[in-house]
Structure 1
Amino acid sequence: MEANPLAVLAGGVALGAILGALLPKSESEQKVLGPLGKRLSETAAAAATAARDAGKEQLTNAIPDKDAAKESLKKAFGNVVEAAKDGGKTAATGNTNA
């Protein structure tokens, strides 16, 4: 306990939460805490939905458009072909100042 008091505290809180969940709820607890629990569940569900939607949007924005990706690859391939042609001409003529 002296070496790691935070772990003992966390374990005690976890144990208390488990025991509290196992004990039956009284009628007065259900009356008082029922609406709060429902509101918390709805809020958590809305937050999870918003996070999921935001994640989907980020992924969609991160993935390039299919046509844009094709065009980019065509340009890159064209540049490589041009560089190869220029390199071949330079080698053929022996001109290193091209």
Structure 2
Amino acid sequence: MDNVLDYKDLGQSTHKRKRRNTKPCWNNELRNLLREVNIAEKDYLRYQGDRRTKTKRREIFKIKRRQFDKRLRQEERKYTAQRLNRINQSGQSKRMLA
């Protein structure tokens, strides 16, 4: 049967987590903050008790999400500034050599 049909051997399967590209500004602090956001979201979504407690859990989730988003924006700005600084420095060194 293999002689008749064409097939493609894809090799060993790999986990997507190993291949996933991360943002260049990503760090351990952001990873931990994201984990806290995910835990707070699950806690809020799975809660089946009274409305007041569920509202409180929702507020906790929103606060943690805001903290994560704020820190991510800060890290992205810092990374962009460092990159622009490196580009400017390399441009200045080329002008000095010319």
Question: If the TM-score is normalised by the length of the shorter chain, which range does it land in?
Answer: 0.3 to 0.5
Q: Larger % of helix: which?
A: 1
Greater relative contact order: 1 or 2 (C-alpha under 8 angstroms, separation 6 or more)? 2
Give the TM-score of the pair, scaled to structure 2.
0.44
Larger Rg, first or second structure (1 or 2) = 1
